[in-house]
Amino acid sequence: MKKLTDLLEKIQYKCVQGTLDKEITSVVSDSRKAEEGSLFICIKGAVSDGHRYAGDVVKRGADVLVVQDPVEVPENVTVIQVEDSRYAMAYISAAWFDYPAEKLKTVGITGTKGKTTTTYLVKSILENAGHKTGLIGTIEAIIGDRRIPAANTTPESYLVQQYFAEMVKEGCDSVVMEVSSQGLMLHRTAGFIFDIGIFTNIEPDHIGPNEHKDFEDYLHCKSLLFQQCKTGIFNGDDQHLEKILEGHTCQVETFGFSEKADLRAENTRLVTGKGTLGIAYDVRGLMNFPVEIDLPGKFSVYNSLTAVAVCRHFGVTEENIQKALKNAKVKGRIEMVKVSDEFTLMIDYAHNAMSLESLLTTLKEYNPNRLVCLFGCGGNRSKLRRYEMGEVSGKLANLTIITSDNPRDEEPQAIIDDIKTGIGRTDGKYVEIIDRKEAIAYAIHHGQPGDIIVLAGKGHEDYQEIRGKKYPMDERVLIHEILEEDKKNK
C-alpha cells in the first residue's frame, strides 16, 4: 500500500475531483487488472483508449483515475488530470516500486543496429569483473537466473520499474537495457536518469503509420535519451551525430575508427580459426590494449568498442575486458555453432534485405571457399522483402538454400516461389528444401573445406509459427539432432 500523494510527488497534476487522502493497493493501466483500491492510468494507445474503460474500472473497485482527457465517474472517485498519462505512468511506477533505478547503475543503448549484441557484451564484461548485472532487451529480460521472453524491445514503464525492483532484490548492482525510439517516444524510460546512454548508429528504419512519421522524427526520438542520461557515449563515425547531439544535457564521449574519437579502434585484422571467424584490433585513446573477439566483421568492432567504452566507467580492468570479449556469445547474432573444423556454421537473425546484405558482405571479406546462405521469409508479411532478400542472397552467396521460416497463414511453397523471383534477377545458384531441418542437414552434409554457412532469419527464436500456432523449433537443437543422427547412421 502507498499513499496517493507519495505516488504523485514528482509529477505536475490537477486534482479535478475527489480527495488526495487515499491509500493505493495497486497501480494498473490494463482495465482487466483493476480491483479494490487500484489507481488506474488511462493510456491512449494506438489501438484502444483507456479513458473508454473509466466506468468499468470504477465498478471493479478502482477509486483513483489518472487521465489526460475528461471522464465521467461517480463523485467519490478521485480524478487526477495530467498533460500526458504515459509520462505520468513512468513517474508513478517509479514511486510505486520505491525508485529502484537509484539503487542501480543504469546503462541505456539506442541505435538502429547493434543494440542487442552490445547489451550482451556489456553484461558479459561486467559479470566477468564481478558485477551482478540485469538486462532488458529485444530477446529477453534477465534477472538473476530468470530469463523472461520479451514482447517489446523496451517494455512499458511500469514493467521497466518492476524489473528494476526485482533486480535490486536479486542483488544486482547494474542493469543494461536496449532503448528503442518507440520506447523513448512513448516515455517508457521516463521517471529516472540513466547513468550512461549510448548511441550506436542510425539508418532509416521503423518509419510507417504506427511508428515514426519520417526520418527526422525517428532521429529526434533517438536523441531524447541524451536529455535523460549523465554521460553519453556516441559513435563518432555516424554522419547523423550532430542531429543526435541536438538538445543533449549529458557529458559527451565518442568511439569509432576516426582519429578524433576518444576511444578508437586501430590496426583491425580478420582472424580465422578452426570453424570460427573473428576480428582483432587495438584499443587506443582513453584505454590502450589489444582485443580479439570471436565475432566477425567491422560491426563487431563497433559493438565491442562500445562495450569497452561503457565498462571503462565501471573501472573494469583491461585484462577482464579482454577475457570477457574473447568468450562473449550472443544468441542468434552471428552465433557460431561448431559442427566441423573444416567449415564455419553460424546462426543469425538477419531477416530483411538490409541486414542480410550487411552480414553476407562482411563474411565475404573472409574469402570463404563458398558462402552458403540458408533462409526463408515470414508469411503474412511484405512480398517485397522476399524479392529483395532473394536478390541479395543470389548476388552475394555462392549457394542459397531456400527453406521455410514462419509461414504463418501462407503456404510455404508460395513464399519460396516469391524468394525465387528475387534470386531469378541474379545468376545465383539455389536449392529449395521446404522442411527447415532437412535444409540444415543438407547444408551440413554438403559443407566443403573453407565454406562459411549462414542460417539466417530465425536467430534467437525457438519456435516456428504455422497457422496461428507456435511450434518448438530451435536451430541449435536441430543441428544437435542432425549430428546425433549422423553418428548413429555411421
Could you tell me what percent of the chain has a pLDDT over 90?
A: 90
What digits encode the pLDDT tens for the residues 396-426? 999 999 999 999 999 999 999 999 999 999 9
Would you state the cell numbers that stand for residue 380, as one nine-digit string?
A: 503474412
β-strand pairing of 399-402 with 371-375: parallel
Would you state the cell numbers that stand for residue 422, as one nine-digit string?
A: 528475387
Mean pLDDT of 476-486: 97
pLDDT at 210 > cutoff 80: no
pLDDT at 47: 83
pLDDT at 205: 55
Bigger pLDDT: 382 vs 56: 56
pLDDT at 192: 98
pLDDT at 209 > cutoff 70: no
What digits encode the pLDDT tens for the residues 242-254? 999 999 999 999 9
To the question of pTM greater than 0.85 for the whole model, the response is: yes
What digits encode the pLDDT tens for the residues 263-308? 999 999 999 989 999 999 999 999 999 999 999 999 999 999 999 9
| Domains assigned to the chain | 2-96 (3.40.1390.10), 100-327 (3.40.1190.10), 335-489 (3.90.190.20)
Q: Quote the CA–CA distance of 232 and 330 in Å, as a whole number.
A: 24
Mean pLDDT of 303-331: 94
- Residue 247 burial (CB < 10 Å; 0-12/13-18/19+)? exposed
Measure CA 377 to chain center: 20
Strand runs (DSSP E) across 111-240, as ranges? Answer: 133-136, 140-143, 146-149, 174-178, 194-199, 229-235
pLDDT at 204: 63
pLDDT at 162 > cutoff 70: yes
What digits encode the pLDDT tens for the residues 350-377? 999 989 999 999 999 999 999 999 999 9
In which band, very low, low, confident or very high, does the pLDDT at 212 lie, cut at 50, 70 and 90?
A: low
Highest mean pLDDT among 45-49, 109-113, 166-170: 166-170
